A and B are shown apart, each in its own frame.
Chain A
Amino acid sequence: MGIIEVKGLAKSYETRSRRKTTKVDAVAGVDLDVAEGEIFGFLGPNGAGKTTTLRMLATLIPPDAGEATIAGANLRSQQAGVRAAIGYIAQGGATTDDATAREELVLQARMHGIGKAEAQRRAIAALAAFELTEYADRACKTYSGGQRRRVDIAMGIIHRPKVVFLDEPTTGLDPQSRAHMWDEVRRLRSEGMTVFLTTHYLEEADVLCDRVAIIDGGVIVAEGTPDTLKREISGDIVTVGVGEEFAEKAGEVLTGQDYLTEVEVRDGGMLRLAVEDGGTAVPRVMRALDDAGIITSTVEVHRPTLDDVFLTKTGRSLRES
């Protein structure tokens, strides 16, 4: 049984513009099952319904339909239980310009019912853990984007929740801060938390998340570990360069190999090979060519990305949308 179980969650909005009312199905029936201790990624383009789903799971907006349990608490009938079990870090952050990080952390802990002395202790520990001690007593408005985001996350987990909802933790951060943030997220997991994050960065979903659900237009179009998702849609592509004079011969040699699903000779002495798994195919290709006295100059393995997955499922590229 997963720590987050969601069935048929849905939410639509009515928007009025000039006499016309249009109904937007922000989330149109989402099923999820997140295991304890996972980093679960919710990948989708702008307006896919990521935030809406998260806000429903965080008890902030009532769903139109569907059921969910989080850490054993029913989303509809046991909201207090859900709130005690979760931390929610909003997409836009939630720090006050004029408050300091220390004040924000203490307040957050105390709003969770933690006593004053303990709240202060936890604030100190959190400031140290998120490398904020240096700025602890400066107003949040003086922080950099990355520092401010770390305060957000420190606040979200000050009560040591079982589940953390992180809405776009790294949007707007430079690559270095992003890598830093990934380490923070992994640390949360190593402390026993389940992390449910949203992102529209392919790399983030791929590298950071144990499992990914791809959402588009309010529905989940694919779900699984990044590797299985990529493997499902196609194998790897191996490109081998052997030089013009050997290309023909190399093509003949490789056509007989049963682990290659496709062999194509291209211009410029290049061969394009479709394979199940590039990692095991490359040595065998090399040996076969070597045995035939053909010298390979370049070898390149192209693995499908999550963007290829998105493209296959929706007909659009995530990068473009």
Chain B
Amino acid sequence: MKVLHDTWLIFHRNVKLMLRSPLWVVLGVSQPVVFLLLFAPLLKPALATMGAHSQAQAYRIYVPGMLVALALAGGLYAGFDLLRELASGIVERARVTPVSRIALLLGRALRDVVVLVVQAAIIIVLSLLFGLTVSIPALLIGYGILALITLTSASFSYGVALKIKNPAVLGQLINNVAQPLMLLSGTLLPIALAPLWLRDTANGNPFNWAVTGMRALFTGHPGDPSIWKAFAMLGGLAVLTVVWSGRKFAKSVR
């Protein structure tokens, strides 16, 4: 109960502050939007090997991967915001109160989920203009996958930020995690194009299952087993990451 109460408290505050400078939500989504517009003409020929025979089909392959990439990257960079908060003493101020430590994490990570929901909506609406179609139930399930990804990536980023504290080092580290992870998950380039050994690693990669599951949802196969596999693996990973990062909030030493 206390955890829920405190999580709501922290979440509410962070959302409120975010709404005060909504620009960065839009800025965060600007790169995917540019990609979307820039690569639109190239999509069909590039994704032909994956069975894209029309522009709409190309979008059904491309957009889900892009959304997963957005959820991953958006969450992974959330740690920078925490570094700013650490420097301004807000985290410490909270840690002298009896507020739930896990709530300090969850309140923030859920704010990041909300940001992602908005950003994903922008991309999906734009894609609809280019001929993407998706059913509402499939979209909601897809949002569930994206939310788990953001929860995981943001929690990971917060935990690392509490440990590293140096923005330059954090930036390098996040880059080194994000780039290979996106490639290995086949978010933008289809993993099917990769050599065999790389494809094998993809089987144990929850984010690859997320991409596959999202593509299944967007191509109208809500019963595809990749979807529940994605949920199971991402769910487990999210729990582990939240617990790990929550501990860091409990005893962050600065």
Q: Which A residues lie at the B interface, using CB under 8 A?
A: 58-62, 80, 83-84, 86-88, 90, 92-99, 103, 107-108, 110-113, 155, 159
Contact = CB atoms under 8 A, between A and B. Distances in A.
Contacts of A111: 6, 9, 94, 97-99
A98 B93 contact: no
Nearest to B6: A111
18 contacts: A59-B95, A59-B96, A60-B95, A62-B251, A80-B98, A83-B98, A84-B98, A93-B88, A95-B88, A95-B90, A96-B88, A96-B90, A97-B88, A107-B9, A108-B93, A111-B97, A111-B98, A112-B98
B89 A103 contact: no
A94 B89 contact: yes
Contact of B17 (A59, A60, A92, A98): A98
A83 B97 contact: yes
- Chain B, interface SS category: helix
A-B complex: 3 closest residue pairs judged by Cβ atoms: A94-B89, A94-B93, A111-B99
Nearest to A96: B90
A55 B220 CA distance: 57
B53 interface: no
A58 B98 contact: no
B13 interface: yes
Interface in B67-110: 85, 88-90, 92-99
Given A84-B98, A111-B99, A113-B98, A94 B17 contact: no
Contacts of A83: 96-98
B13 A107 contact: yes
A195 to B, nearest CB: 16
A112 B96 CA distance: 9
B252 to A, nearest CB: 9
A103 B96 contact: no
Contact of A88 (B6, B21, B96, B98): B96
Residue from B16, B17, B90, B251 with most neighbouring chain A CB atoms (10 Å) = B90
B97 A108 contact: yes
B17 A96 contact: yes
B136 interface: no
Residue from A88, A90, A103, A110 with most neighbouring chain B CB atoms (10 Å) = A110
A188 B89 CA distance: 23
A157 to B, nearest CB: 12
Contacts of B95: 59-60
B253 to A, nearest CB: 5
Contacts of B13: 99, 103, 107
B92 A90 contact: yes
Contacts of B96: 58-60, 83, 86-88
A155 B94 CA distance: 11
Interface string B206-218: 0000000000000
A88 B243 CA distance: 27
Nearest to A107: B13
A145 B75 CA distance: 34
A87 B92 CA distance: 12
Given A99-B17, A111-B9, A90 B97 contact: no
Given A59-B96, A60-B96, A80-B98, A90 B89 contact: yes
Contacts of B21: 98
Nearest to B20: A98
A108 B6 CA distance: 11
B158 to A, nearest CB: 17
Contacts of A90: 89, 92-93
A159 to B, nearest CB: 8
Given A80-B98, A83-B98, A112-B98, A94 B92 contact: yes
Given A107-B9, A108-B97, A111-B9, A93 B89 contact: yes
Nearest to A113: B98
A60 B91 CA distance: 11
Contacts of A62: 251, 253
Nearest to B100: A111
B88 A94 contact: yes
Interface in B1-50: 2, 6, 9, 13, 16-17, 20-21
Contacts of A80: 98
Contacts of B85: 96
A154 to B, nearest CB: 12
A155 B90 CA distance: 11
A61 B6 contact: no
A155 B9 CA distance: 16
Nearest to B8: A110
A60 B20 contact: no
Contacts of A88: 93, 96
